[in-house]
Structure 1
Amino acid sequence: MSFQTALSGLTAASRDLTVTGHNIANANTAGFKGGRTQFAEVYAASSLGLAATQTGSGVRVSGIQQQFGQGSIDFTNNALDLSISGEGFFTFNANGATVYSRAGSLSPDRNGMVVNTQGHKLQVYPPQANGTFDAGRLTDLQLPVGDAPPQATTNVTLGLNLPAASGTAPVNAFDPADASSYSHTTSLTVYDSLGAAHTASFYFVPTDTAGQWDVHSAVDGTSTGAPTTMTFDANGALSAPVGGTVTLPALAQNNGASDLEITLDLSDATQFGDNFNVTALTQDGFATGRLTGIEVTSGGVVQARYTNGQARALGQVALATFANPQGLQALGDTVWAETYVSGPALRGAGESGSFGSVQSGSLELSNVDLTAELVHMITAQRNFQANAQMISTTDQITQTVLNLR
């Protein structure tokens, strides 16, 4: 029995050394979680009920406990390198099977799919038309290819202050080429349905009625039609047009684009003092855009940035937690699979509930403490040597018995 007891100690110590060696070998593996050997004593079944004379039969390895503590964060220059500060796992599609990992070294494949080093596709919640994300559905994250389509200008917001009108109109009839035929002007760039840029200009001409101005508009020097009359009350607030908005006549384009139809918002216009001042000048159109980069927020929202200044949400990184992470099945390549013991995946997004935040341009390193592992290796080696010495001692005792005369 002494041989079997010592042999069980040798086996357990050898397993312990194997786990320690595995931890040390992966000390530089991103997303790796170290393991810890757990031992349990063994008693012979026949000795049950004989507590006073019960003798142990050795030791066994009862399990390898995974250590899911936070690893340190290493910052990189790749926006698609992701790490999680706090709880949660990234979700991946591994050829139809769902797996989980803390390793976020990602890059696009030939089809634009964002994958890890094993080719598993990162899972995200798809965007919805209202600007939110469909948390009830997972999809592969795919980077856009080609240019972003343009958007025609439909609304122009013009906030300004006009000096108090004296009720004296210019002598000359309005002519954009004659600066004496208007008092003030401003302009901005607008876009047609094909993304071509045009210059929209607005000219302000006082009328013979105090507190009243005519607004003439033109696109690329072509008038959009009759002027719009602005009227201010005694407090300098706009009283007409009612609501402050006016739809300019449609302007045909000669490049095949749709007619340019613009609604002018003058609701923020005032007539105070004697200084002309433009306080707001915006429009909602933009040109064709080329992809310039990818950004990921701390909440896991993946956005594509374009040269036209626009951003498009591609999805929100899907995170998962488990009631019992120790029950996850290690598949290798720093990925795990859900099991009955782990419980079902609880899904969510970064910075919500118990989920940690997502950091772009960084990787979570292995959580292995190399110094502690080296010390543990020495301890495991001593255990192995002691059990080997026990076998040697038992052998000597056996030889002594056999040599009795």
Structure 2
Amino acid sequence: MGFAQGVSGLTAAASNLDVIGNNISNSGTIGFKSGTAQFSDVYAGSAIGLGTEVSTISQNFNAGSIQTSSKPLDMAIVGGDGFFRTTSASGEISFTRNGQFNADKEGFIVNAGGSRLTGFAVDATGGISGGAPKALVIPTAAIAPNPTSTVTAQFNIDSRSVTPTVTAFDANNSNSYNYANSLTVFDSLGNSHELSTFFAKDANVENGWNVYVTADGYPLNSAGEINSTPPPPSPPPATANSEVSATLVFNTNGTLKSVTPTGGAVSPTSTFNITGLDFGNGAAALTTDITIAGTTQFGTTNDVKALTQNGFTSGQLTSFAIGVDGKIQGKYSNEQTKLLGQVVVSSFANPNGLISKGGNSWSQSPSSGQPLTVVPGAGTKSGSISSGSLEGSNVDLTSELVNLVIAQRTYQANAQTVKTQDQVLQTLINIR
């Protein structure tokens, strides 16, 4: 027996202790993957081996336990073996299971090492652009206002109503109409305005009703325009007559039969519009279609069943959430939501072929194969995103402590072989 076997065993055992110690020291590291030292025997043309060597350090890419977090940018990949794809400022691509991310001063989503999370950006239409993944950015700019272009309403007009006692409509005289309802709309600058509709039973048309509209209290003419353009800064006049904006006719069963706009606009039978609303504040003139499909004339109380509009004022980003499909939805102070981007995940045919770069990140190699980069949940290997969660280390401390004892015994045993060989040589030297 030579020293070579014992020395190789000591070297291999020391490497094994290093691997086990590294596992134990990273048992609390988010996204850490444990390693295992794999050994092979050494021969050199004889039946007696020359000892052992560490052939490779194999990494265990099994998922760790999922831990909850209160941060929306903390993410875990669940149900798959995909990796978060990141890029450095210089464009170097790396992959990680550590989902601890933050937004830097420029809005980029970065990890502790400064690498930027990548994904698909949003195109001009507000959808996902696709193409090559890019560094994701949380925008800080305000969302632009959207002027109201459509109003959708559904009313019930009480069929038991009688013709108003005052025949000339006056928004300030409730005796000139049967029912009124108001809605907030927005101009191109994001300023809010009150748009009111008034219903007055028409004595000359069976099951007929006249609809009048006012904007900020000012009456509109038959073309849907404010009678005073631009409106004066003072409050609306105490008495202001308006022309009919539309005439409604109902069937004998109470359903809506026709809508006749008086402004001459071409529109469906359930829609009338108002045009050229100039509020005198520098905003573009507002044109709005009012659709009242489903409006009825039943013998019940006047009521509004549905009332929505598509305008909004400007708003600042207040929060965001990441879905299981990686889509980042921003929530704004104007109660709007906007798609900000989509996280992607990458998987490999041979994860053990990845090259560890430290910092819980890896880079691809010829052995790992090319990354398959998809949106979360798109493939059986990719997995989905769990926001507000983190994947813990997959180190099993109990097993590692047992392995530590075994490795220690192995080291001691190899040391004993060296000691024995030394004693044998000493015996030979002492022969006289």
**TM-score normalized by structure 2?**
0.89
Mapped to 2, the partners of 1:249 and 1:404 lie a distance apart of 118
Q: Which moved more, 1:74-83 or 1:382-391?
A: 74-83
Conserved in 2, the CA contact under 8 Å of 1:224 and 1:249? no
Task: Name the amino acid aligned to 1:89.
Answer: F
1:164 aligns with 2:169: no
1:92 matched to 2:110? The reply is no
Q: What corresponds to 2:253 in structure 1?
A: 235
- Identity %, equivalent residues: 40
Secondary structure of 2:253's aligned partner: coil
CA deviation after TM superposition for structure 1 residue 342, in Å: 0.2
Query: For residue 31 of structure 2, what is the amino acid of its counterpart?
Result: G
SS in 1 for 2:286: coil
Aligned to 2:238: none
Q: What whole-Å deviation, never above 9, does each CA across 1:11-56 have from its counterpart, x for those lacking one?
A: 1100000111111111111111111111111122x23xxxxxx222
CA contact (8 A) 2:191 2:313 kept: yes
Structure 2: unaligned runs, 5 residues or longer? 223-243, 260-267
- Partner of 2:198, secondary structure, is strand
Supply the AA of the counterpart residue of 2:101: L
Aligned pair count reads 398
Counterpart mapping for 1:33-182 below 5 A? 33-44=33-44, 46-47=45-46, 54-87=47-80, 88-94=82-88, 95-129=90-124, 132-164=127-159, 168-182=163-177
Which residue matches 1:211? Answer: 207
Q: Residue type matched to 1:171 in 2?
A: V
Does the 8 Å contact 1:297/1:358 carry over to 2? yes
Structure 1: gaps spanning 5 or more residues: 48-53
Shift in Å at residue 77 of structure 1?
A: 1.7
Answer whether contact 1:250 1:262 (CA < 8 A) is retained: no
Q: Residue 256 of structure 1 aligns with which residue?
A: 282
d(CA) in 1 for partners of 2:253 and 2:132?
55
Taking the aligned partners of 2:161 and 2:74, their CA distance within structure 1 comes to: 64
Q: What is the alpha-carbon distance in structure 2 between the residues aligned to residue 199 and residue 322 of structure 1? A: 58
Contact 1:166 1:211 in 2 (8 A): no
C-alpha RMSD over aligned residues: 1.5
Residue identity opposite 1:366 in structure 2? S
Residues in 1 aligned to 2:194 and 2:417: alpha-carbon distance in whole angstroms: 93
Aligned to 2:10: 10
Report SS of the residue matched to 1:149: coil
- Tell me if structure 2 keeps the 8 A contact 1:42–1:56: yes
Per the alignment, residue 189 of structure 1 pairs with 184
Q: 1:50 maps to which residue? A: none
2:339: which partner in 1? 313
Decide whether the 8 Å contact of 1:167 with 1:212 is kept in 2: no
Is the alpha carbon distance of 1:278 and 1:166 closer, same or farther for their aligned partners in structure 2, counting shifts above 3 Å? closer
After TM superposition, the score normalised by the length of structure 1 is: 0.95
1:51 corresponds in structure 2 to none
Is the CA contact 2:127–2:339 (under 8 Å) kept in the aligned structure 1? no
Q: Please report how far the alpha carbon of residue 357 of structure 1 lies from its aligned counterpart in structure 2 after TM superposition.
A: 1.6
2: CA distance between counterparts of 1:401 and 1:134? 80
Which piece of structure 1 moves more, 27-36 or 380-389? 27-36
Residue in 2 that maps onto 1:371 = 398
Q: Which amino acid aligns with 2:358?
A: G
- State the Cα distance separating 1:136 from its structure 2 match: 2.2
